[in-house]
Amino acid sequence: TTTGSTHEFQAEVKQVLDIVIHSLYTDREIFIRELVSNAADALEKMRLTQLTENDVFGAELPLEIHITTDETEGTLTISDHGIGMTRAELVENLGTIAHSGSKAFAAALKNAGKSGDASVIGQFGVGFYSAFMVADYVKVYTHSWRQDGEHLVWESTGTGTYSIDEAPDQVRGCKIVIKLKEDALEFCRPDRVKAILAKYSNFVSFPIQLNAERVNTVEAIWLKSKDEVTEEQYKAFYQFTAHAFDEPSYRLHFQADAPLVINALLFLPEQNMESFGMGQMEPGVGLYCKKVLIDPRPKKLLPEWMRFVRGVIDSEDLPLNISRESMQDSALVRKLGEVVTKRLLKFLDKEAQDDGKKFQEFYAKFSRFFKEGVATDFLNRDAIAKLLRFDSSLTGEGEVIGLADYVARMKEEQKAIYYQVAPSRKTIETGPYLEAFKSKGYEVLYLYEPIDEYVVNSLREFDGKPLQAVNSNEVDLGDLANEGESLSEGDTETLCGWLKDSLASGVEEVRSGKRLVNSPALAITPDGEMTPQMRQMMRAMKP
């Protein structure tokens, strides 16, 4: 809604501002990181735009960030010569947010036990609003890179509305002026701002000047060797590049010379952002060639299921002038992705063996991605399958087992890897299917999620052993040590016939078998038929 130059913030923005202004009190300094990272994003977009557009407003301006402090006025100003914004973009970018962003942000503050902690904000696409933690008002002066853009100023106190007016001549980009609150005047002290920049912004790949002095060093830590990088630097790099607030669960930093020259630094997060209701994540591993960013979110570099992985892949074998479009179908890029994926899977398998407890905790949050990988990533299916973990008839409380360990403890004559799909351990252990397997001493995997059946069906076998559902027609357990009397052949036939008639169309066939010890009967899925769990899943998927 508009009255003159005044606009109402969208409801979701109001919610975010309410949280930002009233309930974030620790780590307020991160608003500087957020604004600097926005400036760096805008410069990066400008760099890419300049590769293809020759009609750019202020084409001669350097791709730099300038920060100035004014202790007399109590202001902090952050300017960049990035892409800037048009009037419509100001409304779109600084007046609205995706619905999921505000909800997910609120949920994360609660669930991650981070209430009051401002550092989470950047990950939810609402970083700009963090300025209102410290501001009486914020002014954004801007001119878009487009020649027909206007000279504009956006202004707000963060309570309900903002205004957009014409401003005197602006250079290209954004200049953000923050009038600091009485209790936030520390953020116009040059030494304080300098320390904050050193902490959070050393990885910005454009020059930053504070009061006309250069402050950042533009380090590409992924090109260094491991012993030259400290734990703190790794963590800061992860948090800056991934906009993350957690500590990475795993880190893989490696150099390779063959078949391609690769410098990679990968992180696996601690928090699964998709579980906060953020929707599907974008790929998070940037592609570089000799320190120059080619694509921050390349879609075809790593398999889609690996979208939770963060970090950097740099290869000097890539042509520096490779465009993002041609990159998408470059065989070289595909090869690069394959090599890195293999390496990461091998690394994880080793980590899982070395510290099973840690891996189990990580897996509990990220299992969805690995299952998706088994179902969709044909090339790496077996290596991903090694990382799956399950409950089973032999695991104790809080224990899980992987397929490799399952195979290692299979009985000598056991023909297959057995599993049952059901909602809970209790359903399985009180049902009739398990008894035959128990009497043989065969382990049965417990699969609780509907997607699990889809996963084992895609996998079909592991280490040469077929995967079979306990209620499948294919299960062959040989002779069971069945004691007690059995019915005569004639009586059995009569009983089967009577059952078939009584159950009518509900069953295809009734026959005697050797799969039960104590229970009288069980249902088995005929060959080529959907299992009950599959049918249930299909029904749930229907609109």
Binding-site residues for ATP, in ranges, read 34, 38, 80, 85, 93, 100-101, 123-128, 324
Number of residues that bind Mg ion (CB under 5 A): 2
- Tell me: does residue 128 bind ligand ADP (CB under 6 A): yes
By beta carbon distance, the residue nearest Mg ion is 127
Say whether residue 117 binds ligand ADP (CB under 6 A): no
Cα separations in angstroms, 240 against 40, 79, 232: 11, 19, 12
From the CB of 80, what's the least distance to ligand ADP, in Å? 5
Encoded one letter per residue, x for contact with Mg ion by CB under 5 A and - for no contact, window 58-97 reads: ----------------------------------------
Q: Of these partners, ligand ADP, Mg ion, none, which one is at the site of residue 117 (CB under 5 to 8 Å by kind)?
A: none
**DSSP category for residue 176:** E
Q: In this structure, are residues 85 and 151 in contact, taking their beta carbons and an 8 Å threshold?
A: no
Exactly one of 12, 80, 372, 377 binds ligand ADP (CB under 6 A); that residue is: 80
202 binds Mg ion (CB under 5 A): no
CB of 38 or CB of 79, closer to Mg ion: 38
> How far is residue 102's CA from residue 98's CA, in Å, rounded to a whole number?
7
Query: Taking CB within 5 to 8 Å according to partner kind, which of ligand ADP, Mg ion, none is near residue 248?
Result: none
174 binds, among ligand ADP, Mg ion, none (CB under 5 to 8 A by kind): ligand ADP
Give 243 or 253: the residue with its C-beta nearer to ligand ADP.
243
C-alpha count within 13 angstroms, C-beta hemisphere, residue 147? 5
Angle between helices 30-52 and 190-200 (to 10 degrees): 60
Among 50, 77, 93, 163, binds ligand ADP (CB under 6 A): 93
Residue 127 touches ligand ADP, criterion: CB under 6 A: yes
Sign of CA dihedral 424, 426, 428, 429: positive
Q: Does 85 bind ligand ADP (CB under 6 A)?
A: yes
Q: Tokens 């904000």 — which residue?
A: 121
The H or E element spanning position 491 is: helix 489-503
Restricted to residues 17-76, the positions that interact with ligand ADP (CB under 6 A) are 34, 38-39, 41-42
Q: Which of 101, 127, 296, 402 binds Mg ion (CB under 5 A)?
A: 127
Answer for which of 174, 273, 278, 469 binds ligand ADP (CB under 6 A) is: 174
Which part of the chain contacts Mg ion (CB under 5 A), choosing from 31-39, 49-57, 208-216, 223-231? 31-39
Q: Which stretch binds Mg ion (CB under 5 A): 123-131, 291-299, 332-340, 467-475?
A: 123-131
3-state secondary structure string across 290-355: CCEEEECCCCCCCCHHHCCCEEEEECCCCCCCCCHHHHHCCHHHHHHHHHHHHHHHHHHHHHHHHC
Pick from 193, 183, 377: nearest CA to 387: 377
User: Which of 126, 278, 475, 524 is the binder for ligand ADP (CB under 6 A)?
Assistant: 126
Q: Is 56 exposed, middle or buried (0-12, 13-18, 19+ CB in 10 A)?
A: middle
Min separation Cβ 195 and ligand ADP, Å: 22
Radius of gyration of the chain measured on its C-alpha atoms = 30
**Residue among 174 and 455 whose Cβ is closer to ligand ADP:** 174
- Kindly state whether residue 311 participates in binding ligand ADP, applying the rule CB under 6 A: no
- Total binding residues toward ligand ADP, as defined by CB under 6 A: 17
Distance CA 476, CA 276 (A): 44
27 binds, among ligand ADP, Mg ion, none (CB under 5 to 8 A by kind): none
Q: How many residues does the chain have?
A: 543
Contact 347, 249 (CB under 8 A): no
Which residues are documented as binding site?
34, 38, 80, 85, 93, 100-101, 123-128, 324
Question: Is 38 an interacting residue with respect to Mg ion (CB under 5 A)?
Answer: yes
Closest CB to Mg ion among residues 65, 421 = 65
The answer to whether residues 477 and 515 touch, using CB atoms and an 8 Å cutoff, is yes
Q: Nearer to ligand ADP by C-beta: 38 or 471?
A: 38
Interface residue with ligand ADP among 29, 81, 82, 273 (CB under 6 A) is 82
Nearest distance in Å: CB 38, Mg ion? 4
Strand partners, 80: 65, 174
Asked if residue 416 binds ligand ADP (CB under 6 A), the reply is no
Distance between CA 537 and CA 525 in Å, rounded? 16
For 414, the 3-state DSSP assignment is coil
Neighbours of 460 (CB within 10 A): 9
42 binds, among ligand ADP, Mg ion, none (CB under 5 to 8 A by kind): ligand ADP
Q: Which of 24, 30, 65, 83 binds ligand ADP (CB under 6 A)?
A: 83
Q: Quick one: which of 338, 334, 333, 366 has its CA closest to 351?
A: 366
**Which two tokens mark 38?**
């926005």
Angstrom distance (rounded) from CA 82 to CA 40 = 8
Residues at the contact surface with Mg ion, assessed by CB under 5 A = 38, 127
Residues at the contact surface with ligand ADP, assessed by CB under 6 A = 34, 38-39, 41-42, 80, 82-85, 93-94, 125-128, 174
